[in-house]
Amino acid sequence: MKLPLPGLCPVLLSTVMCVTFLGCNVTRITLNTPLTQNNVAFIVPGQTTLADVITKLGTPDSITESYAGVVATYRFLDMKYSRINFGWLLKPFSPVDTDLIISRTGLGTDALELLCDSNWVVTHQSFLRHLSGSRFNPYPF
């Protein structure tokens, strides 16, 4: 569709941008580097040692002992938060500050756990929650 006044386009575009993004916050928090299945594909239970894993992934966040052996845990977090305040739309017209806020937080927390035997060979490995990854989506309903 061709607009009647080409000069109107920038104004229209900026207005749409302003209305869409009024009072927006986009925040992300990451703890350590999130690991994926691809990052741990090199681990072969019964063959790979904890030293091999440390060489590639760094030291684990914790090492604990269980009846089945030593448990090394890599923890990570990928939190995404987005918020829109539609109350900003009324700011030019209202004498008071009004808020109509929608927000949503996706807390993508997970951990990789490795079970090692007494010789530090990895016998089992698994992610705790198998997250698919949180998204920026302020719509809470």
Give the per-residue SS3 of 14-66. HHHHHHHHCCEEEEEEEECCCCCCCCCCCCCCCCCEHHHHHHHHCCCCEEEEE
Among 70, 111, 114, 121, contact with another protein (rule: CB under 8 A):
70
- Round to whole Å and give the CA distance between 81 and 26: 6
Does 100 sit near another protein (CB under 8 A)? no
* Of 8 and 128, CB closest to another protein: 8
Q: Which stretch binds another protein (CB under 8 A): 37-45, 63-71, 99-107, 125-133?
A: 63-71
Site for another protein in 102-141 (CB under 8 A): 118, 120, 136
Site for another protein in 21-40 (CB under 8 A): 21-33
Q: Residue 18 and residue 31: Cα distance in Å, rounded?
A: 32
The yes or no reply on residue 92 touching another protein (CB under 8 A) is no
Contact residues for 129 (Cβ-Cβ < 8 A; gap 6+): 109, 110, 111
Q: Which CB, 91 or 94, lies closer to another protein?
A: 91
58 binds another protein (CB under 8 A): yes
